[in-house]
Structure 1
Amino acid sequence: MKLNAGIVTHKLAESKVFYTQVLGFGVSFENEFYLLLHTPSKEAEISFLLPNHPTQQPLFQAPFMGKGMYLTIEVEDVDKIYNQLKNNGIEIKIDIRDEPWGDRHFAIEDPNGIGIDIVKYSPQD
């Protein structure tokens, strides 16, 4: 089983720029109403779909309203990614921090208002 999260949004172009240029994702497939991106390792994908597109059923037509969703991206070197994004002028929404349960993470936001938690999981002692 494989999961592909999808966001219905008018911001296909902005999403493509953000995920490819800021996070290093690649384009798996693209047409005028759909964009499928993959992580640099090609282990996961995320898709974006234009709202109210006539090829789609009503269930997949209403646009995402920018609240109540987040993504987590697990990385090997969270400090390196944090410094790269900060040096490139990407707004950090939650500054880098260590949690009592062992995670080290920070958060940014994509053009659709989706919080992205970038984390290095560490086993708790």
Structure 2
Amino acid sequence: MTDQPDLPASPIGFGRIAATLPVRDIARACAFYEGALGFSRSFQNGEPVGFVILTSGAAELHLTLQPGHRAAPFPVAHMLVDDIEALHALCQSRGLRIVKGLKSQDYGLRAFVFEDPDGNRIDVGQRL
């Protein structure tokens, strides 16, 4: 890796950035995020549907149909919640795989990692 000169701060103001999750089955993924987590569908595209935008409060999640999807072995999204205990219990009750157990971290979050029905790892935190 080469040394990079110090660059001035960017004058660009960034707005929202939304995670896009590849899923093998859009209907199943929507059922999980809408039914289990309370997201609402705000947009969908294609016939059959191949892309969906889900929202909940300020959170936005994009789902894209990828029938051959293989999940990455690391978290692909991070979400902050206001009741991590409830979300952890919900994930357990749905039989989702908890990759990293619920724990208070020294960086100021209580956190855990779960896999959605497509194996996408989601890192969840609540500020301490």
Query: Residue 29 of structure 1 aligns to which amino acid in structure 2?
Result: F
| Maintained 8 Å contact 1:9/1:48 | yes
CA shift in 2, pair 1:82/1:51, >3 Å: closer
Q: Which runs of 5+ in 1 are unaligned?
A: 53-62
CA shift in 2, pair 1:37/1:120, >3 Å: same
Aligned partners of 2:80, 2:38: CA distance in 1, in Å? Answer: 14
Structure 2 matches for 1:1-125, cutoff 5 A?
Answer: 1-31=15-45, 32-39=49-56, 41=57, 43-51=58-66, 64-67=69-72, 68-122=74-128
| Number of aligned residue pairs | 110
| Maintained 8 Å contact 1:102/1:121 | yes
More strand by share: 2
Greater Cα radius of gyration, structure 1 or 2: 2
* 3-state secondary structure, aligned to 2:98: coil
TM-score (norm 1): 0.72
TM-score (norm 2): 0.70
**What's the % identity of the aligned pairs?**
25
Task: Give the CA RMSD over aligned residues.
Answer: 2.3
